[in-house]
Structure 1
């Protein structure tokens, strides 16, 4: 049922991601949409974007499950943000190492 309503809004074959692409002119609108999109999918990802990433105190080979999960949250945040940028905007932030820097 929910999928049918999404298809009605977007049209068959359209991607929801297209509606979250920033084009350099719609930043204010994009920021609000992304905030709620990320929060709805995983609030920990949103916290990483706002507060910065978790930084394990151990070497990578010594990470436990929690360390790996926390590092993965930053990777998810980066993925969401990078996929929402067109090439021009992507090139501006491609050297950022965490979601907060982005």
Structure 2
């Protein structure tokens, strides 16, 4: 099998909590390479199929009664969830072990590693401030400044 064209030959980076930004980009492409609709389950989540019973109450549809489309949608979620499960370390896995939706697992990891929206805004303001105050020291070479940058 040609390793350049087989997505199965590429092993995703393992998320350990310190490499989330890099992991997120690689995982997005890894999941999309499985199939675009697999990534769609990460974005949209999975809703359990429901039916109306004889009394007019909405209840969970038994898996044995799912349509082919409902089974396929569930399979896309399972593939995405498997990709996420196999690309996190034990500590990160413990956060998502009970997830049945790829979206839920993705969102939990994002909140854990990036924080809430307000935390991200605060981090961005701090980084912006740090960037604006960044100056090259007199005794510093361009290479050293670039590395620090």
TM-score between the two structures when normalised by the length of structure 2: 0.56
- In the TM superposition, residue 41 of structure 1 has moved relative to its aligned partner by 2.0
**Number of residue-to-residue matches in the alignment:** 92
The answer to whether 1:38 aligns with 2:42 is no
Report what 1:83 is aligned to: 86
Equivalent position of 2:14 in the other structure: 21
Give 1 or 2: higher helix fraction: 1
Of 70, 74, 82, 1:71 maps to 74
Calculate the TM-score normalised by the size of structure 1.
0.79
Higher strand share: 2
1:99 to 93, 98, 102: 102
Deviation at 1:40, TM superposition (A): 2.1
Gaps of 5+ in 1: 7-14
For 2:68 and 2:33, locate their aligned partners in 1 and report how far apart those are by CA, in whole Å. Answer: 24
Shift of 1:45: 0.8
CA contact (8 A) 1:77 1:99 kept: yes
Secondary structure of the structure 2 residue equivalent to 1:100: helix
TM superposition shift of 1:55: 2.6
Q: CA deviation at 1:64?
A: 2.0
RMSD, aligned CA:
2.0
